[in-house]
Structure 1
């Protein structure tokens, strides 16, 4: 073998050994580094840590005031200004007047039917009523006082033909003569009663003729 060939082979071996050493060293470094990282990580987890709070230093007491310093009175307390608030106006109360429906007036009572119309007036059964009076009917008190006069009456005749009411409408001027006039008419006068449109007997009112009371001379 030539010298040049031996030198080339020697150089190749040296380079191969160098690369082999670099590769082995890199593997060893990686192994060592990984193991060291796991150890450190486990140590950190096992380590019990705690925080220590720092206590602040106590405050320093203020220095005492000098003895010759004059005492200053505290400032007067000024009350806050009064704020006058206007009272709100009272609410307006709305008075609602209830609507009362008008009450319908009660129906008017039915008026009674009109009485039957009178068709025939009462008639004196003895004719002229003045014939009922005589000299013996003169009241004694009127004779004693010499009283004379004329009376006229309005009489009411019942359905039986009897005089049921008497009112003096013209006085003689003497109460005894007026009373005697009505008393005689009630006792002696007889009438045919009046008749209505149905033919039934009904009441009637008539006025007597003037009845003169005169003393015989």
Structure 2
């Protein structure tokens, strides 16, 4: 079952989250993730399914999403709240 995000995905990770050291070291890439969402709509687990190539960016992806993302829980055929998942990616691009 798929959970639906509330609000704007663009607010989960922003340019302001980029650390100056990551910029200096040229760290960029796309971190793909899957979230486990419990029946109340809370994230119970974040798994990086494809690394950005940088462990720090991958860890920041889960940390920031777990803190900022909110979800409508998945529902079964009868409309009851059930555990679900959500998958997407964060593109870490060095800010201009």
TM-score bin (small chain): 0.7 to 0.9
Partner of 2:13: 133
Partner of 1:26: none
SS where residue 53 of structure 2 aligns?
Answer: coil
Matched, 1:124 2:5: yes
- Give TM-score, length-normalised by structure 2: 0.86
- Measure, in 1, the Cα distance between the counterparts of 2:70 and 2:44: 11
- Measure, in 1, the Cα distance between the counterparts of 2:3 and 2:86: 8
Partner of 1:168: 48
SS where residue 199 of structure 1 aligns?
Answer: coil
The answer (yes or no) to whether the contact 1:154–1:168 under 8 Å persists in 2 is yes
Could you say what the CA RMSD is over the residues aligned between the two structures, in angstroms?
Answer: 1.7
- Measure, in 1, the Cα distance between the counterparts of 2:32 and 2:91: 9
SS where residue 206 of structure 1 aligns?
Answer: strand
Greater RCO structure (CA 8 Å; 6+ sep): 2
Structure 1 spans left out of the alignment, 5+ residues: 1-117
Q: Which has the higher strand share?
A: 2
Structure 2 spans left out of the alignment, 5+ residues: none
Moved over 3 A (4+): none
Q: Which has the higher helix share?
A: 1
- Measure, in 1, the Cα distance between the counterparts of 2:20 and 2:47: 22
The answer (yes or no) to whether the contact 2:35–2:45 under 8 Å persists in 1 is yes
- Measure, in 2, the Cα distance between the counterparts of 1:193 and 1:202: 7
- Give TM-score, length-normalised by structure 1: 0.41
- Measure, in 1, the Cα distance between the counterparts of 2:76 and 2:15: 38
- Provide, for residues 38-97 of structure 1, a one-character-per-residue CA deviation record: whole Å limited to 9, x for no partner: xxxxxxxxxxxxxxxxxxxxxxxxxxxxxxxxxxxxxxxxxxxxxxxxxxxxxxxxxxxx
The answer (yes or no) to whether the contact 2:35–2:85 under 8 Å persists in 1 is yes
Aligned residues: 96
Higher Cα radius of gyration:
1
The answer (yes or no) to whether the contact 2:34–2:85 under 8 Å persists in 1 is yes
The answer (yes or no) to whether the contact 2:4–2:86 under 8 Å persists in 1 is no
